[in-house]
Structure 1
Amino acid sequence: MRINIRPYLLYFLIPITLMLLAGCAVLYYLQQAGVTPRALSPYVERRTSDHNPFIVKAGELAGKTLMQLDRGIALPHQAIHTTIGAQANPLPRTGLESAPHATQAESDILVTSGTQLVAALAKANPGDVITIMPGTYYVVGTPLIANRPGTASNRITVRAIQSGTVFLEFNLGEGFQVSAPYWTFENLSIRGVCQYHDNCEHAFHVTGGARYFVSLNNTISDFNAHFKINGSDGRMPDFGLIEGNTLSNTSARKTSNPVTLIDLVAANNWLIRRNMISDFIKDQGDRISYGAFAKGAGAANKFEQNIVLCEHLLRGATGQRVGLSLGGGGTGKEYCRDGRCITEQDKSIIQSNLIASCSDDGIYLNRAAASVVTHNTLLDTAGITVRFPESSADIEGNLVDGAIRSRDQGLLRSQDNKETSIALLYLGYHPVRSLFLQPEAANFMVKDQLPRRSDTPGKLPDLCGDSRPATPSYGAFEDFSGCLLSMQRVK
């Protein structure tokens, strides 16, 4: 049978065919290059910003369209009160920790004023329990110095008997300066109240000899880096624990200084577990911020069972926000543990975390060797990136609404993950995100069932503390309802 195509139809079919072929070629290139729509969007807007008004408007429209294809329509998030953060944590505790709701003992050193707190810290001895009585304490000018050592069997503890009863308001660059080993801080509510955000840098600066530091069940807000951890005078504060804390900011940080809520440099063997980390927007300078990172030639650090919401109650700001990172943005050699930073991290682990609502990567590995990234759930992020030849990572069992990719010759061993092709993101298709009820509003309940692995070696921790079967679901959790105390819509 002879097909008769009218000649004038060719004028339409040929251009349409060429456009489709060109579109497929562009998608193939973007897929191979690892360029997500949310990464391309600001690039397009920047490149068209200095042209005539028509081109500027076209660039803005293209950027907005790309961002909506990737991120969807932004909805108000619900305030999440979880068993991960402060005031409740049913999961098993380690021997280093004490109970979140403690009882007062006769031997406690009771503090009822800022002056008394300063004095108690200055003369603290091993085994002291400095109990701050309920109230609000305003601290200005001089940091609170913790430089007296405890011991493994007799830690020095600074605490409130019950969370939500002691409020420390810091109007100073650093709140607690901890430079001695075996200090524990628990059940405290700490807020930065500086008029200028440059002046509220850290709630805790853990440095030098502050080995075996513990922060348990604290609620901390409105600092550039809630925890700053680094070496000093050749000593490193290794073996720290940050568990069950709620870390956030109530507004975008108007600063050009680094904004990273847990800023870990050059220390080894830290466990950062079961924290709620959210709203870390940097509003000036390069506008790049992180929920938490470990860098500076450290090793054997672990991020486990955290909820990281880059944009939770703060939404829509420009800039790049990364969830968790091994390597961060890199470290000056003088700050590195080995003085060289051949690698930023070695043999560190990111597992069983929920990371969501990030304008950039959910997990970013920068010169991070022998890394393990397993059973994380990433929603509304650019995915997982392994970058530079010094990086190597085993990535397994993750549930990723985005892509898992290598850049600049990073060594990536990806096995048995559920991810989304970059090409599909440009079409606005998100099969992983569609498994959940309303992740764009911070509702991470599952519609039906999550896909399951056929089997997995070893015992995996569950984000919400549930037991995991022999054939676990991909990602961080079996049932998110186990993480929730309550969910309340924020008007």
Structure 2
Amino acid sequence: MTVRRLARRGLLAAGVAAVLLAAALPAIVDHMGVAPRTLAPYIEKRTSGHNPLIVGSGRRVAAILTTLDRGPAGVAPPRLALNVGAQPRAAGQDGGGIQVATPDALRAALKEAAPGDVITLAPGTYRFQGKGIGIARAGRADARIVVRAAQPGTVHIELETLEGFVVDAPYWRFENLDIRGVCPADDDCEHAFHVIGGGHHFESVNNTIRDFNAHIKINGHDGRYPDDGLIDHTTLAATHVRATTKPVTPIDLVTASGWTVRANVITDFVKRDGNEVSYGAFAKGGGKNNVFERNVVWCEQTLRGQPGQRIGLSLGGGGTGREFCRDGRCITEQDGSVVRANLIVGCSDVGIYLNGAAASKVVDNTLVDTSGIDVRYPTSSAVVDGNLVDGPIRARDGGIVHLGDNRATPLWRAYVGSHPVRSLFRAPETGDFSWRGAPPLRDEMDSEGRPADARDLCGKPRAAAAVYGAFARFTDCLPAS
């Protein structure tokens, strides 16, 4: 055999090998399960501390991967005016009740409150320092105790306290308040509300809460559990990166069951120190039947490009120590909980994460600029149906996924800058989620995981032949003019 013939065969073999490798690469990338946005910081970290050429190369590769996955860095989008989150209109009861105008008068009214009392704060700023505000008087199912502003935006509560309202009694409702943490050190502003033990049937409605590590913290105490709470039309945000090693999770729900977290806006929860991992909201610790529905979670809306991992919504979070679990074992972190009709945007990690979450339902969510949905570990099982995902849906480490009809994107496409789901929207990077063309319609909608009166993100009833994801028309989420 001549040298020329051998060379031709060698070239042919090399060509075949290249074609086979190119064909296999997408499957290899999807099997590895590492998104470009996750690989980029790893490469940058591994190449740091070497000679300038290696450091510079690592930074360039990381920048390319991030841009392919997340798009070019741009101007932070404006705060969206939507019909979810805190609203400018008043909610709840009108007029009457107990009028207070100073911090001391509010403390006194809370201490003496009786079922059915409505405590209305006069317009102004109320600053609290040092000791938290204890809530120990019980309301009743037919006579809640309400703490409120008559009009949203008129009452500003400034907390320079480790905890704000510590609720250890049932049937309390807080509404129309603007609450902000003003501690010089972020470690010293943990919670605006800490709902513990006896604080079942707590309600936060139409509040704006800013600059805490875990704005609303819920957990058991002394063998009692604050079940059946409601967080509704509440805006939870931060104006700066949290300089703390403590958990950064605006809604931090541990051990409690039966909570509804609905129609809230959760943004900019960035943890600077420690493990740099933060969540928009999670439920964990052995609770069950919790529902996250119709929320907008924008992990990095104004605080963009920071190191660390931001995860949108989670059943199971990062796990719970056995001694803190409801059953003392945490065989599962959650049982029978639901993530439904949420819009989750701009996360440096996955948009929805299930960890030890059994019999879960993840339905009708829209995820844009995240690394998708992860169902992880053998104790996690989920019906995943009707979701519109700019990224993959994955079962990891033994997790069980019962896939329905979803529209998702294979992971490998992020490595070539291809985002077909993201391209369905007009300008998602600026908060315009109206359809670029015709909306992506499903043939039919399975009823599993959806109540008979199911509504989308914008509050509209679900159609029989529904659009994939959280909403049919984003303009329905805009407030009426």
Which bracket does the TM-score occupy, shorter chain normalised?
Answer: over 0.9
Match of 2:277 in 1: 288
Match of 1:469 in 2: 463
Give the 3 Å change call, closer, same or farther, for CA 308–239 of structure 1 in structure 2: same
Superposed, 1:163-182 pairs within 5 Å as 163-182=152-171
C-alpha separation in 1, matches of 2:462 and 2:379 = 34
Match of 2:473 in 1: 479
Match of 1:214 in 2: 203
Please tell me whether the aligned partners of residues 74 and 440 of structure 1 are also in contact (alpha carbons under 8 angstroms).
no
Please tell me whether the aligned partners of residues 88 and 153 of structure 2 are also in contact (alpha carbons under 8 angstroms).
no
Match of 1:339 in 2: 328
Which of 437, 445, 453 lines up with 2:442 in the alignment? 453
Unaligned runs of 5+ in 1: 90-98
Q: Which moved more, 1:410-419 or 1:55-64?
A: 55-64
Specify the SS of the correspondent of 1:452: coil
Q: Give 1:152 shift.
A: 0.7
Specify the SS of the correspondent of 1:84: coil
Match of 1:49 in 2: 48
1:143-178 Cα deviation digits (max 9, x unpaired): 111111111111111101111000000001101000
C-alpha separation in 1, matches of 2:19 and 2:302 = 40
Please tell me whether the aligned partners of residues 396 and 416 of structure 1 are also in contact (alpha carbons under 8 angstroms).
yes
Q: Which amino acid aligns with 2:471?
A: F
Q: Which moved more, 1:50-59 or 1:402-411?
A: 50-59
Superposed, 1:47-196 pairs within 5 Å as 47-76=46-75, 77-87=77-87, 100=91, 102-105=93-96, 108-196=97-185
Match of 2:397 in 1: 408
Q: Give 1:432 shift.
A: 0.4
1:247-301 Cα deviation digits (max 9, x unpaired): 1001110111100000000000000000011110111111100000000011000
Specify the SS of the correspondent of 1:277: strand
Q: Which amino acid aligns with 1:47?
A: R
- Mapped pair 1:443 → 2:442: no
C-alpha separation in 2, matches of 1:293 and 1:300 = 13
Please tell me whether the aligned partners of residues 102 and 162 of structure 1 are also in contact (alpha carbons under 8 angstroms).
no
Q: Which moved more, 1:37-46 or 1:259-268?
A: 37-46
1:53-105 Cα deviation digits (max 9, x unpaired): 3222222211111111111112221220111011258xxxxxxxxx6164211
Please tell me whether the aligned partners of residues 135 and 167 of structure 1 are also in contact (alpha carbons under 8 angstroms).
yes
**RMSD between aligned alpha carbons?**
2.0
Match of 1:328 in 2: 317
1:108-157 Cα deviation digits (max 9, x unpaired): 11110000011111111111111111001111011111111111111111
C-alpha separation in 1, matches of 2:16 and 2:51 = 31
- Mapped pair 1:423 → 2:412: yes
Give the 3 Å change call, closer, same or farther, for CA 140–10 of structure 1 in structure 2: farther
Match of 1:397 in 2: 386
Q: Give 1:457 shift.
A: 3.5
C-alpha separation in 2, matches of 1:80 and 1:49 = 38
C-alpha separation in 1, matches of 2:74 and 2:85 = 23
Of structures 1 and 2, the one with the larger relative CO (CA 8 A, separation 6+) is: 1
Give the 3 Å change call, closer, same or farther, for CA 46–14 of structure 1 in structure 2: farther
TM-score by structure 1 length?
0.92
Q: Give 1:313 shift.
A: 1.4
| Residues matched between the structures, number | 472
Q: Give 1:42 shift.
A: 1.7
Unaligned runs of 5+ in 2: none
Q: Which moved more, 1:5-14 or 1:294-303?
A: 5-14
Give the 3 Å change call, closer, same or farther, for CA 15–251 of structure 1 in structure 2: farther
Match of 1:202 in 2: 191
Specify the SS of the correspondent of 1:61: helix
1:396-429 Cα deviation digits (max 9, x unpaired): 0000000000110101111110000111111111
Q: Which amino acid aligns with 2:426?
A: L
Q: Which amino acid aligns with 2:34?
A: V
Which of 222, 231, 242 lines up with 2:231 in the alignment? 242
Q: Which amino acid aligns with 2:470?
A: A
Please tell me whether the aligned partners of residues 88 and 152 of structure 2 are also in contact (alpha carbons under 8 angstroms).
no
Match of 1:93 in 2: none
Q: Which amino acid aligns with 1:84?
A: V
C-alpha separation in 1, matches of 2:13 and 2:62 = 28
Q: Give 1:11 shift.
A: 9.0
Give the 3 Å change call, closer, same or farther, for CA 335–15 of structure 1 in structure 2: same
Please tell me whether the aligned partners of residues 101 and 163 of structure 1 are also in contact (alpha carbons under 8 angstroms).
no
Q: Calculate percent identity across the aligned residue pairs.
A: 53
Specify the SS of the correspondent of 1:191: strand
